Amino acid sequence: MSFSIPKESLDAEKQHPYILIDSLGDKSPKLWPAWKRWSLTVFTGVIAIASAFTSACTTGIAEDIMAEFNFSDDIDATLCLSLYMLGYVLGPIWGPASEAFGRKYTLISCLWILTLFNIGDALAHTPAALYVCRFFAGFFGGCMIIVVGPLIGDMFTAKDKQLALAIYACCPYLGPSIAPIVSGFIHDSGVGWRWVFWVVTIFCASCALAALVLLPETYEPVLLTREAKRRRKAGDSNCVAPKELTSKGLADTASLIFSKPFIMLAREPMLAALSFYSSFVYGVQYLLFEAFQFVYSAERGGHDMSNGVRGLTFLPLSIGSALAALVTALFFNRRYVKKMEETGEKPPPEIRLEGACLGGVFGVVFFFWFGWTSYPWISPWSPIVASTLWGAAQCMVYLAQVSYINDCYSISAASALSGLVMCRSVFGAVFPLFANKMYGSIGPRWACTILGVVQIILAFVPWVLIWKGPAFRARSKFGE
């Protein structure tokens, strides 16, 4: 563990005067050259896409997996998706782990282990091997989704943070939108379903190799600790960093890593409310992998499309996410900066939630438009275009929430986001399991109507937090 200052030494300050290193000066990640910060933002966004892509890579090859392992039920194949998402549920420990050990090595270690489990999936010859590798791939893949957001937040001031996070916010949704296209065309090519996992392995390994070379540490408490150690090594033995004064034993550190996200969810009502809303939105993203089968597959009573072409129907989700990020950067971020310039101080975090208010409206419109134009005799372009709204909705809601959480919790943001991702992952794992029964029993129209009603209710969450958020923050034990 890191250097720790005994309490009795701190009490004897006159005999042992310590010099506290609490600023990096011009070495702060926030003062790195703009080209470096923005390049790292794009690069780490690609790393997040690698994990999200892996989550949905089996959607286009479900039929091949069922044939390979003699599965008789669709749920057996759907478990490949759900078990990966279930691994995400435990993955949020990587948030506090990155606060304890640094963003860089936490991220790189998990990337390499994710790559190894993808190789395991490619070589699996039993359902058990496939399922186990998918679960642990999700466990380590969750690190990319959780740590990248706070890593980007480490490099930017409040003025530019939302613009940078707009790039990141697309990534958890771009990956699952692209994966069905790639896996669908691999299925149609006839080269075999294992090639999907080899493609994913190459993608993740490339990111891991690049990260070893390109990715620096960004977490300021860890950088301060390194600076203090460097000065002590140079002969200035009295230098210490704030993190060293609060260093814990291995058992205490492990306990903090596992418990902090749960503690924050239990004690922070604003985090709990946002987590539930975000979880529903995220669950729908993975529910759509099954729902689209009923709309765009002739075997399920929908339009007659091949796996590859059906995968292309996910493109509007990516387009919607990209447009939402652009709107956030050009409108909501500029509004935030203007407010900051007018008042001369950092605006309240609640202003970050304005995008979620608009995204909630888009989500409601999507469900009723998509659901009630999904008849096979209506042009497929109608539900396809409607999907753009859901892509925009999920990105705007998520981006607003990530920005809000980063502003509210700052140093504890990774732990707060870990709790949010944990809840999202539960919904992402469960929603695909009941999607087949739901859409098969009552049809796409009424299934979307039920989901639309839930979306109407949850769309009020950001409005309530804009109204009551300051009161909640005043009582927060973790917020600023």
311: domain CATH number is 1.20.1250.20
pLDDT category, 13, cuts 50, 70, 90? very low
Domain range enclosing 119: 26-216
pLDDT score for 337: 82
With respect to residue 234, please indicate whether it lies within any of the assigned structural domains: no
Instruction: Report the chain's terminal Cα–Cα distance, integer Å.
Output: 28
- Of 12-16, 17-21, 258-262, where does mean pLDDT reach its minimum? 12-16
Q: Is the domain of 308 the same as that of 440?
A: yes
Q: Is the domain of 202 the same as that of 345?
A: no
Q: Is the domain of 163 the same as that of 58?
A: yes
The residues that bridge with 20 in the sheet, in sequence order, are 240
With respect to residue 16, please indicate whether it lies within any of the assigned structural domains: no
Q: Is the domain of 466 the same as that of 376?
A: yes
* pTM for the full predicted model: 0.80
Q: What is the mean pLDDT of residues 429-435?
A: 88
Q: Is the domain of 208 the same as that of 292?
A: no
**Domain count across the chain:** 2
Q: Is the domain of 209 the same as that of 259?
A: no
With respect to residue 310, please indicate whether it lies within any of the assigned structural domains: yes
Residue that wins the pLDDT comparison between 455 and 60: 455
Q: Is the domain of 303 the same as that of 375?
A: yes
With respect to residue 242, please indicate whether it lies within any of the assigned structural domains: no
Q: What is the mean pLDDT of residues 349-372?
A: 93
Residue 418 amino acid letter = S
Q: Is the domain of 207 the same as that of 348?
A: no
pLDDT category, 4, cuts 50, 70, 90? very low
pLDDT > 90? residue 280: yes
| Residue at a domain's end among 162, 197, 216 | 216
Q: What is the mean pLDDT of residues 461-471?
A: 89
pLDDT score for 175: 86
pLDDT score for 276: 93
pLDDT > 80? residue 263: yes
Q: Which of the residue ranges 90-94, 195-199, 264-268 has the most confident prediction, judged by mean pLDDT?
A: 195-199
Q: Which two tokens stand for residue 236?
A: 């200035």
8 Å CB contact between 134 and 86 = no
d(CA 311, CA 317): 11
- Of 241-255, 265-279, 452-466, where does mean pLDDT reach its minimum? 241-255
pLDDT score for 79: 84
Q: Is the domain of 166 the same as that of 276?
A: no
Question: pLDDT per residue over 98-120, tens digit each?
Answer: 888 889 999 999 999 999 999 99
d(CA 287, CA 274): 20
pLDDT category, 366, cuts 50, 70, 90? very high
With respect to residue 155, please indicate whether it lies within any of the assigned structural domains: yes
Q: Is the domain of 201 the same as that of 267?
A: no
With respect to residue 2, please indicate whether it lies within any of the assigned structural domains: no
pLDDT > 70? residue 462: yes
pLDDT category, 76, cuts 50, 70, 90? confident
Which run of H or E residues covers position 20? strand 19-20
Q: Is the domain of 181 the same as that of 285?
A: no
pLDDT category, 417, cuts 50, 70, 90? confident
d(CA 48, CA 329): 20
Q: Is the domain of 453 the same as that of 325?
A: yes
With respect to residue 330, please indicate whether it lies within any of the assigned structural domains: yes
Question: pLDDT per residue over 61-73, tens digit each?
Answer: 888 888 888 887 6
pLDDT score for 260: 80
With respect to residue 243, please indicate whether it lies within any of the assigned structural domains: no
pLDDT category, 243, cuts 50, 70, 90? low
pLDDT score for 10: 44
pLDDT > 90? residue 166: no
d(CA 53, CA 65): 18
pLDDT score for 11: 47
